[in-house]
Structure 1
Amino acid sequence: MVIELDVALDDGRVLRAYDSGPDASARLVLVWHHGSPQTGAPLDPVLEAAAARGVRVLSAARPSYGGSSPRPGRDVASAASDVAAVADAFGVDRFVVMGASGGGPHALACAALLPDRVTGVATLASIAPYTDEFDWFGGMRSPGGLQAALQGRAARALFAETDEFDPEQFLPADFAALEGTWSSLGADVGRSEAFGDDGLIDDDVAFASPWGFDLEAVAAPVLLVQGELDRVVPRSHAVSMLGRLPNARLWMRLDDGHISVLDVVPDAMDWLLAQTAARSE
């Protein structure tokens, strides 16, 4: 049974965090970084894949999501200190990180800024740092939110007042995933609506602003998983990150979109387990 805990931070904020359960025999502790928007609660397929492999899962709602306090002006890098506090609250020292979509940048922040604690990283459909070195918006079906975020928080908040979901962002394979294996993701996105738009707004502003760390600082091994047909975060983002991360490999999924690519989560866990085993030899 998943344990829920409100972690009190030194600055007076609270983070709502989750633990799949302390287990002295766990082969690995994985910190899951949720997408945008979600509540931060670990999703069923993640928990099931982890349980089958003896992996303990921690997760937390980023500020303004799922019961966590706001953190005005947060950048991507700020996730590292929050995750460190969550790991400390659960008595965990070293761990791997995995992030999907908007969780990817925050997973990378932990690896860059907590190098003595993070031993491996996997991202799925992760956005890359904003740059004009390639067409950052190219291939995005509905880039309006991120384009507004580039103009600042006020512009992104104004966009949120009229923003509507564009179903053309998803492939038939994505909708099939949401109706099947990843139905818990769709349900969680629905639950996140009760907490308002601030978490998503702050995420987008953070993505379109300097992240607060360099990808070149990520020394841990990184697995980038990307759907070739993704219309939310296009393949160019993964290719760009691959060229900047010192120790990364890319799994390009030729038939996958933004949601269906999550089916690789069990394989990504196996990769992280293998990396951890190799480091301990």
Structure 2
Amino acid sequence: VAAAAGDASAVAGALSIDRFAVMGHSGGGSHALACAALLPERVLGVVVVAGMAPFGAEGLDWFEGFGPGGVAELRAAAAGRAALEKHLAQSDDEPDFTPEDEAALAGEWSWFIDVVRTALAGGTGGFIDDDLAGVGAWGFDPADIVAPALFLHGGRDRVVPAAHGEWLARRCPSAELWLRPDDGHISILNQGAAAMGWLREHADRG
């Protein structure tokens, strides 16, 4: 996960961007946090939406609150790439979305399905890498983040339980937590504009 910071730094450098803010959803949350932790002189702020805590995080029952499909998939990932590939080839589990998520995907976020479909058109390699990163070592500690950090999470999320966002907010000394009790993993994205406003406000202070 830590390698994401180097990638982001290289892209920003190529674009002549000195300082920047970062935002990540779901599996992208840890990569955004990597940038904030490892590039403290460049990252002005970070938003994590429905992000996972580190695998085996102290004081967190890591699998508690995941839907059954997610538990099976992530346990397979913890057993390694071969086990995960086998699981995905044999599984017909649907994502553990809530009714709120389904409504979001049928409405304003319907385009999200097309993005995922396009991402998987070339194979499941990226999807597998994402799962493996979710259960792998991060290579940094969120406690080292000094930039303003916002953790946004839905209380009904069964893809990444809200306890993960709460753990991260406790771990990160600069954190603010927005817990939306009626949202799931996708419907929480309806709060994205407000989160971007928060990010811009805090980045401007930097």
TM-score w.r.t. the length of structure 2 is: 0.94
Structure 2 residue aligned with 1:189: 116
Q: How many residues align?
A: 203
CA deviation after TM superposition for structure 1 residue 96, in Å: 0.4
Does structure 1 residue 212 correspond to structure 2 residue 115? no
Distance of 1:160 and 1:85 partners within structure 2 = 33
Partner of 2:22: 97
Question: RCO greater where, 1 or 2, for CA within 8 Å and sep 6 or more?
Answer: 2
The residue identity in structure 2 corresponding to 1:230 is: D
* 2:84 aligns with one of 147, 151, 156: 156
Q: Is the 8 A contact 1:219 1:247 kept in 2?
A: yes
> Who is 2:185 aligned against?
258
Greater fraction strand: 1
Q: Which moves more between the two structures, 153-162 or 249-258? A: 153-162
Task: Report the secondary structure of 1:195's partner residue.
Answer: coil
Shift of 1:171: 1.4
**Contact residue 24 and residue 32 of structure 2 kept, 8 A:** yes
Q: 2:191 is aligned with what amino acid? A: V
> How far apart, CA to CA, are the structure 2 residues paired with 1:256 and 1:129?
22
- Residue type of the alignment partner of 2:32: A
Please show how residues 110-149 of structure 1 align to structure 2 within 5 Å: 110-131=35-56, 133-141=59-67, 142=69, 143-149=71-77
Unaligned runs of 5+ in 1: 1-75
Q: Deviations over 1:112-139 (max 9, x none)?
A: 1111111100011001101163211111
Q: What is the DSSP-based 3-state SS (H/G/I as helix, E as strand, rest coil) of the residue aligned with 1:170?
A: coil
Alignment partners' CA distance in 2, 1:125 and 1:119: 20
Q: How far did 1:218 drift?
A: 1.1
CA displacement 1:63-101 (0-9 Å, x = unmatched): xxxxxxxxxxxxx11111111122122222211001011
Counterpart amino acid of residue 62 in structure 2: W
Q: Provide the C-alpha distance between the structure 1 equivalents of 2:144 and 2:82, rounded to a whole number of angstroms.
A: 31
Instruction: Say whether residues 1:198 and 2:125 are aligned partners.
Output: yes
Say if 1:160 and 1:197, in contact at 8 Å, map to a contact too.
no
Instruction: Map residues 207-246 of structure 1 onto 2, 5 A cutoff.
Output: 207-246=134-173
SS where residue 223 of structure 1 aligns?
Answer: strand
Counterpart residue number, 1:77: 2
Counterpart selection for 2:32 from 90, 107, 123: 107
- TM-score w.r.t. structure 1 length? 0.69
Q: In 1, distance between residues paired with 2:151 and 2:34?
A: 14
Distance in 1 separating the partners of 2:60 and 2:48:
21
Give the distance between the partners of 1:129 and 1:260, measured in 2 at CA.
23
Answer 1 or 2: which has greater helix percent. Answer: 2
Give the Cα separation in 1 of the matches to 2:11 and 2:111.
23
Aligned to 2:174: 247
